[in-house]
Amino acid sequence: MKAVFQIEAEVPRQIEVDVNTLIVAGWAGRDMAAIEHHIEELAAIGVPRPSSVPLYYRIAENQLTQAERVQALGGDSSGEVETFVFAADGEMYVSIASDHTDRKLETVSVAMSKQVCIKPVAAQAWRLADVAGHWDELIIRSWIVENGVQVLYQEGPLSSLRTPQELIAGYTGGATALPDGAGMTCGTVGAIGGIRAAAEFTMELHDPRRQRSLRHRYHVDSLPVVA
């Protein structure tokens, strides 16, 4: 999948990336108590416990999209805000993505529930080197629309999650950088009020030190479920 990113840096520029490898890093928290909380949160909706943590799910590259309107089967899917690290021309970048997941199918197979849903990603990114020194200060957030009102759905610092370098090393067997064309989502934080579906999802990666944010909003059209 070809993605175009506006790189927000001292010298802004645009890059086109041919994403040929897409990985979702699951159960990516640093705090085992927090991981257990998320496992229990998902268990409450019937999702089986993971075999190990973290886990790496390969997703078809064509599931990545920068569209602001996407489609999902039925009304049982929901978004999860995550940082998205990717490599292009020998350099690492960070953006924001949603690990949109079919919650009904998740009770049968987590891998399948992730594969069947589109993965929205923002059209802006930062150089990873520009934020690596204060990575733990960055904050991820998301909002959903309920009863016509936008409400905060997720919020937490990246200090609660494993660093991209640690997650990448776990996937590659030691290397801390992705090869060109590879992208990885790097874990999420708990849902405020519990996991639930919503047609409108807004996500943000905020850098409080530099007072800047990456944002993306998308709308989900539910397709009919037929037998």
Over residues 58-70, the pLDDT tens digits come to 999 999 999 999 9
The confidence score (pLDDT) of residue 49 equals: 85
How many CB atoms within 10 Å of residue 217? Answer: 16
- Total Cβ atoms within 10 A of residue 44: 10
Q: Which residues pair with 91 in a beta bridge?
A: 88
Report whether 108 contacts 131 (CB < 8 A).
no
Lowest mean pLDDT among 7-16, 37-46, 196-205: 37-46
Measured over the CA atoms of residue 39, residue 71, residue 75 and residue 191, the dihedral's sign is positive
**CA–CA separation, 112 vs 97, rounded Å?**
19
For the chain, the structural domain boundaries read: 2-221
Nearest CA-CA partner of 19 in 57, 66, 56 = 66
How far apart (Å, rounded) are the C-alpha atoms in residues 8 and 95?
A: 10
Q: What share of the chain is helix, strand, coil (3-state, %, to 5)?
A: 20, 45, 35
Alpha helix segments (H runs only) across the chain: 32-43, 103-106, 110-115, 128-131, 164-172
Q: What is the pLDDT of residue 43?
A: 83
What would you report as the CA-atom Rg of the chain, rounded to the nearest whole angstrom?
Answer: 16
Query: Cα torsion for 137, 85, 28, 71, to the nearest 10°?
Result: 110
pLDDT digit string, tens, across residues 79-96:
999 999 999 999 999 999
Structure tokens at 211: 């007072």
Residue 200 corresponds to which amino acid? E
Encoded amino acid at 169, one letter: A
* CATH of span 2-221: 3.90.850.10
For the stretch 14-66, pLDDT in tens is 999 999 999 999 989 898 887 887 788 778 878 888 888 899 999 999 999 99
pLDDT (mean) for 215-227: 96
